Amino acid sequence: MSVILILVIVVLVVIAGILIAVFAYKNRAHKQLQDKHRKIQHAHDQLQDEKSRIQHAHDQLQDEKSRIQHAHDQLQDEKSRIQHDFSLERDQLLQSQKIIVTQAVPHLREHMVKVTLDADTAHPRLIVSHHGKQVRDGNRQNAVDGGKDRFDEYLGVLGKDGFSSGRHFYYEVKVKDQTQWDLGVARESSNRKGLFSLSPDDGYWTVRRFNESYWARDSSPVSLSLRVEPQRIGVFVNYEEGLVSFYDVKSMSHIYSYTDQSFNEKLYPFVCLGQWGNENSTPLIICDDY
């Protein structure tokens, strides 16, 4: 009986040990599971916080984007208003300028002089009409001599008569359909040989067309933005005040003015068909009528 009792007790102790071991294992596994759950929950909470921060940053970004868009819209509105005001002022200025020039051209024509081109100064390629009112590139090189008074690089020609001593003078040149020209006035002693700037520094006061662009040949060339293609150019000189002005006669608009110039010798009308050659056979025409 004692042996049986001992065996029973041993069995019970073993079973109890097994139960305790199983309970301890399950309890430890439960705690581990709870720890993992807490970690997962913590990570989830952190993720939610990060998501909230991202959402907050996104909302701020959207607000900033909205403010920028609003500022951009205001800037565009201001730009449109300025452009509108500028266009209005420009139109008003052009209109007033047109009125002024419309009134000025008849007055300038009171000083119109009879200009006759001097064939003896013309580049050898040029053909000057017998009455001295037209000039074109005749593509001739050896038909006339290359005397000292002739241009030898620029296809230029001077007027026969010079003007000085405080006099005003005005003349007009028809440039319609010609795509390359320079015109204005030249000092009597100005160089005619070789290439130079056709600017006041070299004794020339000119405006130029080359293909589709227009320039004033000032000491630093000035690009001219003309609203229409000139067909007839008026050149006015106030010798005493040092003024050379150019006008588009047809559109009654001012093109360019050289001011505060110093003249101390005769000035001659000057027209030119470019450099070396001009494939456009349209002549430049001195206009006596209006």
* Residue 207 and residue 259 in contact, taking contact as beta carbons nearer than 8 Å: no
pLDDT at 90: 47
pLDDT digits over 75-94, tens only?
888 887 877 665 555 444 44
| Alpha-carbon distances, residue 12 vs 18, 19, 22, 25, 94 (angstroms) | 10, 10, 15, 19, 118
164 or 129: which leads in pLDDT:
129
DSSP-derived 3-state class of residue 78:
helix
Pick 227 or 190 by higher pLDDT. Answer: 190
SS3 state at 59? helix
Q: What is the pLDDT of residue 187?
A: 95
Residue 206 has pLDDT above 80, yes or no: yes
Q: What is the pLDDT of residues 147-186, one digit of tens each?
A: 778 998 999 999 999 998 767 889 999 999 999 999 999 9
- Neighbouring residues of 139: CB distance < 8 A, sequence distance ≥ 6: 125, 277
104 pLDDT band (50/70/90 cuts)?
A: low
Of 118 and 23, more confident: 118
Counting beta carbons within 10 angstroms of the beta carbon of residue 6, is it exposed (0 to 12), middle (13 to 18) or buried (19 or more)?
Answer: exposed
Other Cβ atoms within 10 Å of 203 Cβ, number:
19
Of the pLDDT bands very low, low, confident and very high (cuts 50, 70, 90), residue 233 is: very high
Residue 122 burial (CB < 10 Å; 0-12/13-18/19+)? buried
Predicted local confidence at residue 221, as pLDDT: 92
Indicate if the pLDDT at residue 140 is higher than 50: yes
pLDDT of residue 213: 94
Q: State residue 265's pLDDT score.
A: 92
Least confident among 8-12, 48-52, 229-233, 251-255: 8-12
**Summary mean pLDDT of the chain:** 86
Nearest Cα neighbor of 186 from 244, 108, 116, 112 is 244
Query: What pLDDT was estimated at residue 86?
Result: 56
- Residue 143, pLDDT > 60, answer no
pTM: 0.65
